[in-house]
Structure 1
Amino acid sequence: MTLRDDAVVPALECRGLSKRYGAERIVLAQLDFTLAAGEFVAIMGDSGVGKSTLLNLIAGLDRADSGSVTIGGHALEQLDDNAATRLRRQKLGFVFQAFHVLPHLTLEQNVALPLLLNDLPPAGAREMLAAVGLGDRGDAFPRELSGGEMQRVAIARALVHRPTLILADEPTGNLDPATAHEVLGLFRAQSKATGAATIMVTHSEAAAAVADRVLILSDGGLHASLAPRAQTSNVAHAAVRSSDDVR
């Protein structure tokens, strides 16, 4: 598969996206959502409304019952498993609450992993570490880091291969408020610098405040809410139903 240039197409398009578990547990229904290149969006909502399910569908780790997910012009439902894995490796970056930094690798080796998987020169890893304030720590191991520093490594790893889309699931959930504020500012700045669009799932209003726009996932649907930073921005509306039991 040759991936096309995605500079002139939306980073993400979800059209008519629906998902249910069993006969009664409707999670998403006819969801329409577009994310522009470089845009930073926060998705909030109570536990159980389907936020993680939505991320899994966007990443191609789960299949929707109907509808489409298109990343940089590439429709996931048209790809076989190998092609979907290749697109995920090339076009997506992931940041998790639990960091998932590999303990037996140095910081530079951790950040270089996406480059190696995409047959790209690993030299960019040290440059990316410098961008997150860890340029002199490339030979250190994760056991030597604080939680905030490990999340900086995770952000560097997610961005180093210049993905189209970053998916972040509670990226500051394990950090104290002061560290979370610092890391989120860096995360936003670096995602903007690389041109990656970002979806961040969070329960934290403070975290959501860094976004260009905020979408609230609730039993009644996905409601647009302006973030403080983006009070003059246009906000797209989407519709989704959710169950109480599925997160």
Structure 2
Amino acid sequence: MLELRHLSKSYVPGRPVLADVSWTFKAGEFVAIMGDSGVGKSTLLNLIAGLDTPDATPDAKPGASPILVDGIAMSGLDDDAATRLRRSRMGFIFQAFHVLPHLTLLQNVALPLLLNGLSTTRAAEMLEAVGLGGRGRDFPHQLSGGEMQRVAIARALVHRPALVLADEPTGNLDPDTANSILELLQREIKATGACAIMVTHSQLAAKKTDKILQLSRNGMQEIDCVNPFAQ
């Protein structure tokens, strides 16, 4: 579903945030990415989404791309094509929510459906699924941070994306709500065959996934899911 090939990113020459990261993510997988602060976890999600541009690889073959989504080379897309791909195939859960303040909760969640020319019926269903049923006419300023996070999660999943990118999706939630949201992600992935990649510092959240990857300055490696945090 998603392939990373020798992906690197530097904002200051000679000081890479990410260096030579390669991995293949399969459809139907729920994957957690963990690592120390500053190793590039959020940068990795932004690069996958096409919101940032990876460094050129000096020895790469002509036309090669370090990021492929469903076999499509992200580096080969112009801005319009990349936007269409994100709109139709991806769902995003950002730490900053990006909930639109001038829209109601229902309108916020329905936005991906409208942009893709789909029926908006599922928007109310997703608000119900994240515990905000009956509040569709409320506005974001009436919500707590945790409630806005749940709106963002409902919006990311409403159009049944093939690739879900989640940056600390449970960071603003109490333990019970976090658990229910992770179970919702699991159900959606199973129902749609999507691939979900979740950046998290939470060991409890990571243990809900199918696979845990550790990102470091030396690249990315899988952690044993049976006893992932044993010393």
- TM-score computed with the length of structure 2 as normaliser: 0.85
Match of 1:203 in 2: 201
Unaligned runs of 5+ in 2: 58-64
Q: 1:97 aligns with which of 91, 95, 98?
A: 95
1:58-207 residue pairs with structure 2 within 5 A? Answer: 58-65=48-55, 66=57, 67-207=65-205
> Does structure 2 conserve the Cα–Cα contact (< 8 Å) formed by 1:212 and 1:229?
no
> Does structure 1 conserve the Cα–Cα contact (< 8 Å) formed by 2:18 and 2:39?
no
Greater CA drift, 221-230 or 115-124: 221-230
Q: Which amino acid aligns with 2:201?
A: H
Distance 1:159 1:54 in 2: 20
Q: CA RMSD in A?
A: 2.2
How many pairs align?
Answer: 220
Deviation string 1:46-73 (CA, Å, 9 cap, x unpaired) is 1111111111110111111234211122
Q: Secondary structure at the match of 2:66?
A: strand
> Does structure 2 conserve the Cα–Cα contact (< 8 Å) formed by 1:151 and 1:183?
no
Q: Secondary structure at the match of 2:164?
A: strand
Distance 1:129 1:193 in 2: 18
Unaligned runs of 5+ in 1: 1-9, 231-247
* Percent of aligned positions that are identical: 65
> Does structure 1 conserve the Cα–Cα contact (< 8 Å) formed by 2:140 and 2:148?
yes
Deviation string 1:59-101 (CA, Å, 9 cap, x unpaired) is 1111112342111221101111111111111111111223332
> Does structure 2 conserve the Cα–Cα contact (< 8 Å) formed by 1:101 and 1:150?
yes
> Does structure 2 conserve the Cα–Cα contact (< 8 Å) formed by 1:211 and 1:229?
no
- TM-score computed with the length of structure 1 as normaliser: 0.80
Distance 1:95 1:138 in 2: 19
